[in-house]
Structure 1
Amino acid sequence: MSASTTPFWPAPTVDGAVEAVVTLPGSKSITNRALILAALADGPSVVRRALRSRDTLLMAGALNALGARVETDGEDWTVTPLPTNASVGDGALVDCGLAGTVMRFVPPAAGLVTGAVRFDGDPHMRNRPVGEILDALAALGLEIDDAEEGSPGALPFTVHGTGTVPGGTVVIDASASSQFVSALLLAGARFDSGVDVRHDGAPIPSLPHVEMTVTMLRRRGVAVDDADANRWAVSPGPIAAVDEVVEPDLSNAAPFLALAAVSGGSVTVRDWPAATTQAGDALRDLLTRMGCTVSRTDGGLRVTGPADGWRGLQGLQADLHDVGELAPAVAALCALASTPSHLTGIAHIRGHETDRLAALATELGRLGADVEELPDGLRLAPAALRGGRFRTYADHRMAHAGVIIGAAIDGVEVEDIATTSKTFPDFATFWSGLFHPVGSLGA
């Protein structure tokens, strides 16, 4: 949809301290990893409290296309794994949409079925990096055709599966995305020789996501050797069928906890885990450093903003390399802060749903922010913001940034708020419902 016809949504603005308790949908990262592992397991299993969103439904559809059966009725999804000698007959099509996890996690599994599996997605997905995965799979013994429509190393591409993947050692550069590592590890136990993944390049971003993958594999009895830096070796063997209870999506907590900071109120996110591999857990430290009070309660995690709301926020000097998905929400808060901020280590978010650094600099600047785009981050200084249109570039995290600014500044209109359905269905209704003196909402 062109910019001229994409709808703009008037973001609500706070008129007092927000006091709310929220229950968030499940983690997309955990849901999609659990679905892949369940589809490759040695028996049926259940993904409990699965996130129902565009990305997770695309993952379910992709696994169904390979021959697994994912039943998505209700909040608990039953998965029947790929049958022995699974075949896609005349071929299968996997729609990746805008889901990086589908585009990167499913191709290794596609090598375990017989037949041609073609991958494609939304137009912007043809700009997102996947070549390292395709080259790695070719090195591990798979036939990959990625020259369709003159687009080597990108969508569309076809995996020609033979039912087995030889596996072995492969060297990749995962500096553009930690998903390159996770993709190979998730299916590696089903390869004939397992997989030994070695990273050679700049530091891997978002390492907590690799730790999440390793933790989930070990829970299913898969042997993973990660004793050496930049190396992960998965031994061949069965993947046990294990029911997974999906944690709340802590990265999706960012705009809600930011609302406490902006309004000077308190927001509690229910069921915040005591220990987790999710990157969103870093919000506890980041918001504390910006002047919020963060505490655990019997109900979850509670954040209370400065007494005078966003005007009392302190700027932030932070390396967000490992938690880049939080950068849009954090940048929005920094644009409102009373002292300068410098966010670094996030060059890799240029390869996310959009070039997030360029998009943030452009859209925050459009609303009056004093923001400088750096090669690997953003520099922000205090400035008087104003209302206006905030474009999202079909990126749910950009929409989160827009609504945070809109909560503080009257007259902000956020483009295509429905893009938030990627990880949070009906976000706009949920968000608007918080703008009451006292609220208690569940997803």
Structure 2
Amino acid sequence: MQNALPPALAITPPNRSLSGRVSPPGSKSITNRVLLLAALAEGTSRLTGALKSKDTELMARALREMGVQVEEPDATTFQVTSTGRLAAPNAPLLLGNAGTATRFLAAAVATIDGTVIVDGDEDMRLRPIKPLVDALNTLGIDAASPTGCPPVTIHGKGSFGHGRVEIDASLSSQYVSALLMAAPRGDGPIEVALAGKDIGARGYVDLTLNAMRAFGAQVEDQADGSWLVQPTGYRATDFHIEPDASAATYLWGIEALTGGKIDLGIAADAFSQPDAAAQAILAQFPNMPDVIDGSQMQDAVPTIAVVAAFNNHPVRFVGIANLRVKETDRIRAVANELNRILPGLATEDGDDLIVAADPDLASKLSGRNARIKIETYHDHRIAMSFALAGLLVPNIVILDPACTGKTYPEYWQMLADLGVELTPAGGRSGSRGFPL
């Protein structure tokens, strides 16, 4: 169904509350973690509740290219069989714009006895990876990234080394997770320590630690903000993946904007992912906080920012500098597209984002016939979050809607099933409003 999407989708405001039962896809963050851990474990692991999307397909493909057997017995399951060792691939690993796969594998392939090139698309080649490369060099691993971004060339020696390594995680917690997940394949204990106090989305490191322990790793949290990892390797295990909290933010946003009620089949406080904290903020709409710290729920910020456009008072987003090095510069992208809806609706203040907010925004724009074409910058989160604006504002058109396939292939079908009319720009709508 994702392949059938047109180049642009127009959204017709439903003019009613949206309610129903929606099952969010599996967590991308957890799926890509446990795919890698299963590949580093000897034996067969069954991963259920998994996300099947572009990002996880890229990870699975890369693992297959390194000799791991990855089967897909059904739409939400991966079955991974491995010797516990990765083999050198015959060609560079091409990982699109999948940040988790690129960063995690840049560390993991150092356990290979051979040379591996980890690369991505033109957007990934703009995303920083130098802190991770520097950390690998500290462990005695020959890794190089001439531009500070992919491609990365790693000359592995079959082990991840041992000793203490410091990592600058101010740009991304994924650097920390990458080191931690490879560390049990060291030839001695490895201590992973933060260089400085800043870390992007610490909750994602906790996700990593929980997954590692489920696969048999011995990791000790130390009081000084470091982790001591023993060279235990991993053991195969069956693992159930919880729904994606980042995907759930769009459903909570739908509830807030339309006054509806959507049953996700899981309570917000049952998620282990940090983005679930967005629910408590969105539930306060139209009186969300004046200042929202997005540092620990970064992927939820575009969703909250679009909802904030209809809030009763302005909202300032702080702690979000890392959004500038995601799939696109999300601070600038959100500001640009909010201002496309109504000039002056958003302002960048350094690395803060200020959403002016206007509770009468929908009524002010109700008579405007010109289409508002939302540029998505190849970024799935921009597409999905700005679709929420189309629930209230007429003539919103989302360009490149297929980019949502990165993490939520059924996003548009979900909206259609809730009763939202989606029309190819200049075309006809299909059954239940879904485009033909």
Normalising by the residue count of structure 2, what TM-score does the alignment of the two structures yield?
Answer: 0.88
Mapping 1:252-263, distance limit 5 Å: 252-263=247-258
Unaligned runs of 5+ in 2: 1-5, 366-370, 422-431
User: Following the alignment from structure 1 to structure 2, what is the Cα–Cα distance between the partners of residues 172 and 362?
Assistant: 33
State the Cα distance separating 1:177 from its structure 2 match.
0.3
The aligned counterpart of 2:128 is 129
Q: Give me the whole-angstrom Cα distance separating, in 2, the residues matched to 1:131 and 1:220.
A: 28
Q: How does 1:104-119 map to 2 (within 5 A)?
A: 104-119=103-118
Q: 1:419 and 1:60 mapped to 2: Cα distance?
A: 19
1:56 Cα deviation from its structure 2 partner: 0.3
Query: Aligned residue for 2:27?
Result: 27
- In structure 2, give the amino acid aligned to 1:361: A
Give deviations 1:127-167, integer Å, cap 9, x for gaps. 111111111112112112323xxx2x211122122222213
Partner Cα separation in structure 1 for residue 216 and residue 199 of structure 2 = 26
* CA gap 1:87/1:257 in 2 versus in 1, 3 angstroms: closer
The one-letter amino acid paired with 1:332 is V
User: What is the total number of aligned residue pairs between the two structures?
Assistant: 406
**More divergent stretch after superposition (7-16 vs 44-53):** 7-16
- State the alpha-carbon separation in 2 of the partners of residues 67 and 253 from structure 1: 34
Contact kept, 8 Å, 1:66 with 1:110, in 2: the verdict is no
Distance in 2 separating the partners of 1:87 and 1:240? 18
CA positional deviation for 1:381: 1.8
Q: How far apart, CA to CA, are the structure 1 residues paired with 2:281 and 2:190? A: 36
Distance 1:42 1:27 in 2: 24
Deviations 1:332-367 (A, max 9, x none): 000111211111110111110000001111110111
How far apart in 2 are the matches of 1:227 and 1:168? 15
Cα distance in structure 1, aligned partners of 2:99 and 2:420:
36
Q: Name 1:356's counterpart in structure 2.
A: 330
Instruction: Indicate how the Cα distance of structure 1 residues 314 and 228 shifts in structure 2: closer, same or farther if over 3 A, else same.
Output: closer
**Is the 1:418–1:426 Cα contact (8 Å) retained in structure 2?**
no
Deviations 1:46-74 (A, max 9, x none): 11121100000101011112221111341
CA shift at 1:114, angstroms? 2.2
Counterpart amino acid of residue 46 in structure 2 = V
Could you tell me which residue of structure 1 aligns to residue 81 of structure 2? 80
Q: 2:226 aligned with 1:231, yes or no?
A: yes
Residue 8 of structure 1, CA deviation: 2.2
Letter aligned with residue 288 of structure 1: A
Asked if 1:284 corresponds to 2:279, the answer is: yes
> Whole-Å Cα distance in 1 between the matches of residues 334 and 39 of structure 2?
37
1:96 Cα offset (Å):
1.3
Cα contact 2:43–2:83 (8 A) shared by 1 = no
Partner of 2:9: 9
Are 2:404 and 1:409 equivalent residues in the alignment? Answer: no
Letter in 2 for 1:136: A
Q: Which residue is 1:419 aligned to?
A: 403
The alignment's TM-score, normalised by the length of structure 1, stands at 0.87
Identity of aligned residues (%): 35
Task: Output one character per residue of 1:9-51: Cα deviation in whole Å (capped at 9) or x when no partner.
Answer: 1123222111111011100011011111101113211111211
CA–CA distance in 1 between the matches of 2:216 and 2:296?
27
**Within the alignment, does 1:55 sit opposite 2:58 as a pair?**
no
Distance 1:88 1:198 in 2: 29
Residue deviations 1:73-127 (CA, integer Å, cap 9, x gap):
412211112455x5427x4321111110111001222112222211111101111
Match of 1:214 among 209, 224, 232: 209
Kindly indicate whether the alpha-carbon contact (under 8 Å) linking 2:42 and 2:84 is maintained by their aligned counterparts in 1: no
Deviation (angstroms), 1:316? 4.2
| Structure 1 residue aligned with 2:42 | 42
- Alpha-carbon displacement from aligned partner over 1:234-281 (angstroms, at most 9, x marks no partner): 111121212110101011011122111111121121134754320222
Q: 1:158-237 to 2 correspondence within 5 Å?
A: 158-237=153-232
Shift of 1:202: 4.8
Determine if contact 2:70/2:81 at 8 Å carries over to the other structure. Answer: yes
Find the residue that maps to 1:44 and give its secondary structure: strand
CA contact (8 A) 1:66 1:82 kept: no
Q: Secondary structure at the match of 1:265?
A: coil
Aligned Cα root-mean-square deviation (Å): 2.0
Secondary structure class of the residue paired with 2:123: helix
Distance 1:436 1:370 in 2: 25
Using the TM superposition, give the Cα deviation of residue 372 of structure 1 relative to its aligned residue in structure 2, in angstroms: 1.1
- For residues 403 and 344 of structure 1, the distance between their equivalents in structure 2, rounded to whole angstroms, comes to 23
Partner of 2:412 in structure 1? 428
* Conservation of the 8 A alpha-carbon contact between 1:316 and 1:334: no
Instruction: Give the CA deviation at 1:313.
Output: 5.2
Q: Does 1:335 align with 2:309?
A: yes
> Retained in 2: the 8 A contact 1:220–1:242?
yes
CA distance in structure 1 between the partners assigned to 2:41 and 2:418 by the alignment: 41
C-alpha distance after superposition, 1:282-301 (max 9, x if no partner) = 123112332xxxxxxxxxxx
User: Aligned pair 1:68/2:49, yes or no?
Assistant: no
Q: Tell me what 1:139 maps to.
A: 138
For each residue in 1:376-406, what CA deviation from the matched residue of structure 2 results, as whole angstroms up to 9, or x when unmatched?
A: 3211223436451111111111112210111
Q: Partners of 2:257 and 2:56 in 1: how far apart?
A: 31
Q: For the residues of structure 2 that align with 1:127 and 1:166, how far apart are their CA atoms?
A: 29
Note if contact 1:177-1:348 (Cα within 8 Å) is conserved in structure 2: yes
Matched, 1:398 2:382: yes
Q: Which amino acid aligns with 1:318?
A: I
Instruction: Rate the CA distance shift 1:83–1:36 in 2: closer, same or farther, 3 A.
Output: closer
**CA separation of 1:83/1:201 partners in 2, compared to 1, >3 Å: closer, same or farther?**
closer
